[in-house]
Amino acid sequence: MCVAKLPEIADDVTEAIDAVELADGNSLSLHAGEVRATSTSFKATVSATLTTLQHCASLMRRRERQARQAEELYMALKNQLTEARLASKPGPDHEEGPHSTLPDDEFYDAVETGFDKMEEERCARVVSPSVHTRDQVDLPPPAIDNRLTVHPLWTEIDRISTEQIQAAFEDVGGSIGWQLFAEEGDMRMYRREVEVDGMVMDPLKAMHKVRGVSAREMCHYFFNPRYRYEWETTLENMNIVEEISSDAMVFHQTFKRIWPVSQRDALFWSHVRASDDDTYAVINHSTTNPDYPPNASGCIRLFVTVCLACRSTYPAGEQPSRENITTSIAYCSTVNPGGWAPAGVLRAVYKREYPKFLKRFTGYVHDQCRGKPLAI
């Protein structure tokens, strides 16, 4: 009231009290003691409030500094943890490089665990025989498609396919150097130890026999992309880059990553053809395409030459049927992994996985063909 009435003397409480006249005509000085007590109390309250506000502001500034320091500490610890992880599990070049910190046995155990997980996932999927009815268009053609013979890749495809089919059923004895490394029933697995620039590039050959399935049917399921996700457990993604003809395509495939090995991809043409003596074959061979550059998107490009050659036989004078047909299979593979990995580990993985793959694939084809007319 004093300040509102006489702001020019508001700084002097005594003068303000003496100068103010109340509404009833009495002087405010009659209540001086009460006013002074109230004023003193108000000043004390304001002073305490200001002190408290200053303390709160100081606390807020300190909390802000602490929060900033905590955030900086968190980022520093996070960076240290990331660096520690990279030191214990290096990037792709170091994981697979000759300076890898993983001993060979741990490297193999990690890869083995990855394959086991993929196999469990495959077994968990219930894959029933395809509902598609086979027809002559889907089956490998008995003659080379004319569209392929005018394609720029034709010369290479024809040369490599001819070489691979010829070599598929050649004898593994003599001085060629094939070593038997796995045997189970009718299946024999051979390899020749080859290293190029420290990378294992062992050519592999598997010889097997399947009854009740024709060579044409085996190659149909191996070549046709419709079925590939059903039997290829390591496949993550597949793109048809170019459909050249009914018997040739170009594929880009990305494979599931298995730590500590970097993720791989492959770009290859695939060609299926008929040959003499009831023989069919599928040949896959790496190629190039500017739209799919190697070692992009975090994947290491692997380079492959694969041949699945199948030859059917049945008793002379009889019509072929599910009951009397036998198909001999020669599966040949040469893979450049594109990056270093312990030679012993790779060879151990080959010994474990190749027989499993061949049994899985032939079993899949046998199940798919059950109850369907024989195609020969």
* DSSP secondary structure letters along 249-317: EEEEEEE---TTSPPEEEEEEEEEEEETTTEEEEEEEE---TTS-TT-TT-EEPEEEEEEEEEEE--TT
Indicate if the pLDDT at residue 27 is higher than 60: no
Please state the rounded mean pLDDT for residues 85-110: 49
Q: What is the CATH number of domain 103-369?
A: 3.30.530.20
Question: Between 269 and 92, where is the model more confident?
Answer: 269
Segment 210-265, tens digit of pLDDT: 999 999 999 999 999 999 988 988 888 999 999 999 999 999 999 887 766 778 89
Segment 30-85, tens digit of pLDDT: 556 676 777 788 888 888 888 888 888 888 888 888 888 888 888 888 777 766 65
Q: C-alpha angle with apex 146: 144 to 150, nearest 5 degrees?
A: 115
User: What is the reported pLDDT for 67?
Assistant: 86
Confidence of residue 120 (pLDDT cuts 50, 70, 90): low
- Hey, where are the domains in the chain? 2-69, 103-369
User: What is the reported pLDDT for 7?
Assistant: 45
User: What is the reported pLDDT for 144?
Assistant: 93
Q: How far is CA 78 from the centre of its chain?
A: 25
Please state the rounded mean pLDDT for residues 120-144: 59
Please state the rounded mean pLDDT for residues 80-108: 51
DSSP 226: G
Indicate if the pLDDT at residue 354 is higher than 90: no
